Amino acid sequence: MTHPVATEAVGIGNDWHPSEPLIHRDERLNYGKKLREKTPRSDHAIWSPRADRPDPVTLLEQSNVGRMQQLVPVRHARMMESPFAFYRGTAMNMAADLAHTPTSGIDVQVCGDCHLLNFGAFATPERRMIFDINDLDETLKAPWEWDVKRLAASFVLAGRHNGFDEQVAMESAYRCVEAYRERTQQYSEKTVLETWYDRIDVEDLLPTIHDEETKQRAEKRLEKAREHSVMAKEFPELTTLTDGFVRIKDNPPLIFHWADEGHHAQWKDILRGFEKYRESLQEDRRELLDRFQLMDIAFKVVGVGSVGTLCGIVLLMASDSDPLFLQIKQARASVLEPYASKGHHANHGERIVHGYRMMQAASDIFLGWTEGVNGQFFIRQLKDMKIKPLVEMFTPKVMLQYAEWCGWTLAHAHARSGKAAEVAGYLGKSDKFDTAIASFSVAYADQVEQDFGKFIAAIRSGKLEVFRE
């Protein structure tokens, strides 16, 4: 049986008819189930570095090419905090490894850097708080297993970082994949639009938290996020009055403006880029953006994996008490590109925006893309009622529950690509795949810790520079 594909309508009037018959759910399930013959689910348990595996420090140095070199030492310093921090900054390394692991042959829109800290709560345009994936810089169409394996391994590393028993760390990986499998099965039974409209509301999750202290902390953070005001919080923290004009405060090396030399040329390029960004928005949102005036822009260091790329914050104002902050992030080639389809987007910013809209239940209204002399970029709101998980404060029970939430969320994000039935057919109803990935996750976490040792050795030898903030 060939892989199911979308059909085209042919003919007009009374002669109109689909070119092919509809492919029903059972056929899709059977197609996925048949793929186990080529790639048994137990094969996913295996992790063994190949003989020609690239040196992890060499790959890290390659990922630093094109970054702002004065910020690379900051990136290294953030990564040296723990094997888990190192893992977060080495998506390129794992992509190279995942390319040599078994896959079923089913591609969906994937995150590409799917670890547990790239999930969280944020507000939809309707101001509902949902739980979803919130970082998709590396998104691309690729094997769904790559996201599952990177996410599951992150739970083992985070569990070890928290000092949990090894069994708990492995169990969290298992629970994550189990939830992914069970939710994928459920999405395979829904209609296309039911899956597309589905979302995970934070208000529905909070009552299910078993740990009372964690529940209370989460409720307080949610209430604080709802009361959030850009004018009351970000505006005084990020701005200052200079010569009668509101500007973004410098806080080097984390927030800074460009050098005075070439200022006018750079500002013109920014204005051209901002106009291109405006054109990437749909018409009603362009009109909304036009109510704000561009006031200032500054570079800003963000995250771990993004440190050294061109990122910034933009201050716009509709009045002296009505600010809007946007975040600009450089859009580089996905780390998955050497091993998967490069896609059809000429601009990597557009690729990322497409990934957000495909995988998230709801996306930022100001999400758009642009380009300039310094590269390609995507833009979204800065800190729009976002709540990051406090993973370092999780108890073992909370970590296990959070793993289930992430597995559920990833299942929904993947199901939006329309392949839930095929993936569900491959996964089946037993826990063979869950057990296999849990074993892989432990073995790969061991590999990351070995790679982290080489990274630390390179710092101590002076091969890699660090700068502590």
Residue 201 included in any domain: yes
- Does any domain span residue 324? yes
Per-residue pLDDT, 468: 79
Please choose, from the candidates 312, 306, 307, 319, the residue with its C-alpha nearest in 3D space to the C-alpha of residue 248.
Answer: 312
Residue with tokens 């189990």: 178
Above 70 in pLDDT, residue 61? yes
In a domain, 386, yes or no: no
Cβ pair 352, 378 in contact under 8 A: yes
What would the pLDDT profile of 82-101 be if each residue is shown by its tens digit?
Answer: 999 999 999 999 999 999 99
Residues 66 and 163 in one domain: yes
465 inside domain? no
> Is 49 within a domain?
yes
- Write the DSSP string, 29-85: HHHHHHGGGTS-GGGGG-----TTPPPHHHHHHHHHTTS-TTTHHHHHHHHTT-HHH
Output the six-digit token pair for 302.
């963000």
Q: What does the pLDDT average to over 159-182?
A: 98
Which region among 174-178, 259-263, 454-458 has the lowest average model confidence (pLDDT)? 259-263
User: What are the backbone angles phi and psi of residue 315, rounded to the nearest 5°?
Assistant: -105, 125
Residue with the larger pLDDT of the pair 21 and 157? 157
**How many C-beta neighbours within 10 Å does residue 461 have?**
8
Smallest Cα–Cα separation from 444: which of 39, 81, 96? 96
d(CA 247, CA 295) in angstroms, rounded, equals 7
Length of the chain measured in residues = 469
CB-CB contact of 402 with 351 (8 Å)? no
CA dist., res. 427 & res. 116, Å (int): 22
Instruction: Kindly state whether residues 436 and 332 are assigned to the same domain.
Output: no
Given a cut of 80, is residue 382 above it in pLDDT? yes
405 and 328 in a single domain? The answer is: no
20 in a domain, yes or no? yes
| Maximum mean pLDDT: which of 227-241, 264-278, 311-325 | 311-325
Which range, of 169-183, 229-243, 417-431, averages the lowest pLDDT?
229-243
Q: Say whether both 416 and 339 belong to one domain.
A: no
The answer to whether residues 65 and 142 belong to one domain is: yes
* pLDDT, greater one: 382 or 263: 382
CA gap 419, 427 in Å, rounded: 12
Mean pLDDT of 147-160: 98
pTM: 0.92
Sign of the CA dihedral running 99, 104, 105, 106: negative
Please tell me whether residues 42 and 104 are part of one structural domain.
yes
Q: Are residues 343 and 402 in the same domain?
A: no
- Does residue 440 sit within a domain? yes
Are both 142 and 250 inside the same structural domain? no
Structure tokens at 305: 């994996």
| Sequence-separated (6 or more) residues with CB below 8 Å from residue 331 | 137, 347, 348, 349, 351, 352, 369, 375, 376, 377, 378
**How far does Cα 2 stand from its chain's mean position?**
31
Q: Which of 381, 408, 432 is a domain's end point?
A: 381
CB neighbour list of residue 197: distance below 8 Å, 6 or more residues apart: none
Above 70 in pLDDT, residue 265?
A: no
Are residues 284 and 184 both part of a single domain?
no
Most distant CA pair in the chain, distance: 77
How many separate domains does the chain show?
A: 2
468 is a domain residue: no
Shared-domain flag, residues 175 and 147: yes
The residue among 357, 381, 405 that closes a domain is 381
What confidence score (pLDDT) does residue 14 get? 62
Domain termination residue (choose one: 326, 350, 381): 381
- Check whether residue 123 and residue 214 sit in a common domain: yes
Average pLDDT rounded to a whole number, residues 23-45: 96
In the chain, the percentage of residues whose pLDDT exceeds 70 is 92
pLDDT at 148 over 60: yes
Are 87 and 127 found together in one domain? yes
pLDDT at 109 > cutoff 60: yes
Mean pLDDT of the chain: 90
Q: Which domain holds residue 129?
A: 9-226+392-460
- Tokens, residue 461: 């030898």
Structure tokens at 270: 């920014």
